[in-house]
Chains A and B, each alone.
Chain A
Amino acid sequence: MSLPAYEPVLLKYANQRGMHTLEAYLAHGGYGAAKKALTTMKPAEVIQAVKDSGLRGRGGAGFPCGMKWSFVPPPDRVPGPRYLCVNADESEPGTFKDRYIMEGDPHELLEGIIIACYAIGANTAYIYIRGELVLAAKILEKAVEEAYRHGALGPNALGSGFRVDCTVHRGAGAYICGEETGLLSSLEGGRGYPRIKPPFPAVVGAFGHPTIINNVETIANVPHIIERGAAWFKSVGPSDDPGPKIYCISGHVKKPGYYEGPMGITIRSLIHDYAGGMMDERPLKAIIAGGSSCPWIAPDKIDTPLGFESLKKVKTMFGSAGTIILNDSVCVVDAMWNILRFYAHESCGQCTPCREGTGWLAQIFERIEKGGGREDDIATILDVCDNMRGKTICVLSDAAAWPVQSILDVKNYPDAAIFRPEVEAHIREKKCPMGKHAPAFKEAVRQHGRISPRLVV
């Protein structure tokens, strides 16, 4: 097999060394799209162009970007400032694409920010970047400085008379701040607690004012749409779910990494054409298509195209395009325990179903893995999941329950029939059949009364 003919758009320059400077960006026509938008188009025309392109948010939910922008109420209805927040809190396990845009081509992002600000009438933009990404934050801060000096940012952005200010705001290691309202709470200087919606941020957002929150990759697409037109964008990949896309692939493949291609390449193509095939030629056991919160799918779904609509059809999600590949050496219970430990650690603790549910699930999976499985465990797990879904302020709780249900709930997830027997075997045999963890349950109970409470991490 060979790669489809495709010229990178988002990472064209990011993949080349030294192209992160303003000088390099200007040399290949940078800030031309922003100038075009700000000086020759009306904000409504910019929004219409993005709507026409069919660009869907790249942060996880896949919400149509242009439509989101149009939710900002007109100034006569809600006066006062508007804000743009760029979500660079990339934390979904399996996802690592935004980092490379910010490190390799930060001005591409800034140009998108200028255009987006103009479209929604925001004079201020904040880039909320996760605290761990120190290098990316430094590069971005430098780029912002350069952009101010160039006059792309500031009171008279690119000579248009429109003011755009941009600030890089560093987070400090909380997954929940990637949730849009958690991000706002954190931006305002508080604990990263998500807020109840409605009101949606587009109406009541940062500092109580209308705010649009977009993912880095979404914003990075905007200058290209303005420059080349909505029709061009629609022609890349499937027309109902189009555009250039950065895929992340990790786990058991020969060349894990990030690859740009058109939307809608198949999982098979991503594994074999881009990532060099399965590691050690071992067979595929499970696919997590879009990041750790996505329901698992079985190997027979390998020819499914990666896209928001196509993956919905096989009962999973495209999420933030963080494909994790598991081969036959993986123990389903062990891997799920790892995922659940993550969610238990990252739950903000506001809502009981999530705070308790994620911890319970992690503990039950740990117990099963270590040989302490009980007959009614699966029923208990599904009951807990049921109480976690749709009952909390944000979807972290759902995100923890989805993968679990996808391996156990045969009624709603057909592929659970593939994975469930392995969990049952753990419980029946009172040990991990793959020998990942030696039975420790009885011994641990004897010593401590119970096994490790909350987490190893």
Chain B
Amino acid sequence: MSFTFTPERRAKLDALVTRYPKKQAALLPALRLAEEQAGCIDFDAMEHIAEILDVSPAKVLGVFTFYTHYRRPGTGKFLVQVCATLPCALRGAESVFDRLASELGIGQDETTKDGMFTLKKVECLASCGSAVCVQVNDDYYENITADKVPDLIRQLKEKK
């Protein structure tokens, strides 16, 4: 399967490149555009980006793997990320994670069979004042307790 940016996204990227004195600086935003288009970033997308930005595919892979927030292939439709760092841990992050794991029937970094949910413990999401914070795709769900987990999952399922 090969990857090519849609004309709109390609235009967006070309415009972005002009914002920086060096083409290569648009690498992080380019990865975002690929993620937005395909739902995740695979080798084909990386090669495509490398070609556009005049860097080696290895360079793109090196950058991609440094950052944890880009979606890898095989990620479920809803990427559920539970903050497990101290401020959230103090407010029960562990029990929220455990409840999510048992309700979804998956563990850390696993995806449900139907490809709907991927569960992850992550580090600080900068929402310590509304702990426990759970990020699902782009959205923050704050002040989550173990009791609120079934409701959260139901909400997500309805979203489809």
What is the interface of chain A, defined by CB distance below 8 A to chain B?
A: 81, 90-96, 99, 130-135, 165, 167, 169-175, 186-192, 207, 248-252, 256-258, 292, 322, 324, 326, 330, 335, 338-339, 342, 345-346, 348, 456-457
14 further contact pairs, Cβ within 8 A, besides A96-B129, A174-B66, A174-B69: A93-B87, A96-B126, A96-B127, A131-B67, A169-B28, A170-B32, A172-B68, A175-B123, A189-B25, A256-B87, A256-B128, A256-B129, A335-B89, A339-B86
| Interface flags, B16-41, vs A, CB<8A=1, else 0 | 00011110111111011000000000
| Interface flags, B27-71, vs A, CB<8A=1, else 0 | 111011000000000000000000001010000001100111110
Q: In the complex, what residue of chain B is closest to A345 when comparing beta carbons?
A: B123
Contacts of B70 in A (CB 8 A): 172-173
> Given the interface contacts A189-B26, A345-B123, does A173 sit within 8 Å of B67 by beta carbon?
yes
Which 4 interchain pairs have the tightest Cβ spacing? A173-B69, A172-B67, A189-B27, A250-B128
Stretch at the interface among B1-9, B98-106, B130-138: B130-138
> Given the interface contacts A172-B31, A252-B90, does A95 sit within 8 Å of B126 by beta carbon?
yes
Contacts of B127 in A (CB 8 A): 96, 99
| Size of B's binding interface in residues, CB under 8 A | 44
- Could you tell me the distance in whole angstroms from the C-beta of B82 to the nearest C-beta in chain A? 10
Residue in contact with B125 in the complex, picked from A132, A135, A165, CB distance below 8 Å: A132
Q: In the complex, what residue of chain A is closest to B30 when comparing beta carbons?
A: A189
Contacts of B149 in A (CB 8 A): none
Contacts of B152 in A (CB 8 A): none
| Interface flags, B62-85, vs A, CB<8A=1, else 0 | 110011111000000000000011
In contact, B24 and A189 (Cβ under 8 angstroms) = yes
| Interface flags, B94-132, vs A, CB<8A=1, else 0 | 000000000000001000000000000111111111110
Residue in contact with A93 in the complex, picked from B22, B26, B85, B135, CB distance below 8 Å: B85
- Could you tell me the distance in whole angstroms from the C-beta of A441 to the nearest C-beta in chain B? 19
- Could you tell me the distance in whole angstroms from the C-beta of B95 to the nearest C-beta in chain A? 13
Residue in contact with B121 in the complex, picked from A130, A131, A330, A457, CB distance below 8 Å: A457
In contact, B63 and A191 (Cβ under 8 angstroms) = yes
In contact, B90 and A330 (Cβ under 8 angstroms) = yes
Contacts of B66 in A (CB 8 A): 174, 191-192, 348
A114 CA to B26 CA, complexed, in Å: 23
9 residue pairs of the A-B complex, CB under 8 angstroms, read: A171-B28, A173-B68, A173-B69, A187-B25, A188-B24, A189-B25, A189-B27, A256-B87, A342-B123
Residue in contact with A251 in the complex, picked from B32, B87, B124, CB distance below 8 Å: B87
> Given the interface contacts A133-B126, A342-B123, does A251 sit within 8 Å of B90 by beta carbon?
yes
In contact, B87 and A456 (Cβ under 8 angstroms) = no
Contacts of B22 in A (CB 8 A): 188-189, 207
Q: In the complex, what residue of chain B is closest to A248 when comparing beta carbons?
A: B129
In contact, A322 and B67 (Cβ under 8 angstroms) = no
In contact, A90 and B126 (Cβ under 8 angstroms) = yes
Contacts of B26 in A (CB 8 A): 189
- Could you tell me the distance in whole angstroms from the C-beta of B9 to the nearest C-beta in chain A? 15
In contact, A169 and B129 (Cβ under 8 angstroms) = no
Residue in contact with A456 in the complex, picked from B28, B108, B124, B138, CB distance below 8 Å: B108
Most buried by A among B27, B55, B108, B128: B128
In contact, B126 and A99 (Cβ under 8 angstroms) = yes
In contact, B85 and A186 (Cβ under 8 angstroms) = no
Residue in contact with B19 in the complex, picked from A132, A167, A292, A326, CB distance below 8 Å: A167
> Given the interface contacts A81-B21, A131-B67, A342-B85, does A324 sit within 8 Å of B90 by beta carbon?
yes
In contact, B86 and A257 (Cβ under 8 angstroms) = no
A170 CA to B69 CA, complexed, in Å: 11
Contacts of A330 in B (CB 8 A): 90
A195 CA to B20 CA, complexed, in Å: 20
Contacts of B28 in A (CB 8 A): 169-172, 186, 189
In contact, A188 and B90 (Cβ under 8 angstroms) = no
Contacts of B67 in A (CB 8 A): 131, 171-174, 192
